[in-house]
Amino acid sequence: MTTTVSFVRVSPDATLPSYAHPGDAGMDLTSAEDVVVEPGARALVKTGLAMALPPGYEAQVRPRSGLALKHGITVLNTPGTIDEGYRGEVGVILFNAGDVAFKVAKGDRIAQMVIAPVTRARIAEVADLDSTERGAGGFGSTGV
C-alpha cells in the first residue's frame, strides 16, 4: 500500500526521509542540527522538516536499533505519534542510556518513521465486561 506524505524543509540543513531498502517499514529521519546528548540526559533533536499526513494516517517515530545497541541511544515516548493535523517541525526526543556523551551531527540518521493507517474506536460504556481465561491478570501474570 502506498500513500503520499508531503514535506517542507523548515531548515536548509534538512534531509528528506528515505527508505534504506525496498520493503522497509520505516524511513530514516536525520538531524538538522549538531547536538550532544550526555549520559542519562535527553534532547529534542530537530529534523528541519514539517509534513502533511493524508487523512486517516499517523506517523510513528521509533528508535534505530543500531544506535540502541551500539550507543544506548533510544527515542523517549516511543513510538512517538505524529497526528495528521500537526504541521510543526518534526522533532525526535533522544535519550542516552549509555555511559558516554553521544554526538549527533547534522545529517546523522537519528530515528525511523513509520506511516500507518489509524483506526478510530467507538467508545461504549457497559455495566460488565465479558470474562476471559486471563481475566485481570497483567504485568508478569504469565511468568517471567
CB atoms within 10 A of CB 44: 12
With respect to residue 136, please indicate whether it lies within any of the assigned structural domains.
no
Q: Report pTM.
A: 0.89
Cβ atoms within 10 Å of 34's Cβ, excluding its own: 13
CATH of the domain at 18: 2.70.40.10
Residues whose CB is less than 8 angstroms from the CB of residue 108 and which lie 6 or more positions away in sequence, other chains included:
30, 31
Does residue 79 have a cis peptide bond before it, meaning omega lies within 30 degrees of 0?
yes
**Tens of pLDDT, residue by residue, the chain (144 residues):** 789 999 999 999 999 999 999 999 999 999 999 999 999 999 999 999 999 999 999 999 999 999 999 999 999 999 999 999 999 999 999 999 999 999 999 999 999 999 999 999 999 999 999 999 888 888 887 777
Rounded Cα gap, residues 3 and 34, in angstroms: 31
Number of domains forming the structure of the chain: 1
Half-sphere exposure (Cβ direction) of 25: Cα atoms closer than 13 Å: 9
124 inside domain: no
Residue 81 lies in a domain: yes
In a domain, 128, yes or no: no
- Residue 109's domain comprises 6-117
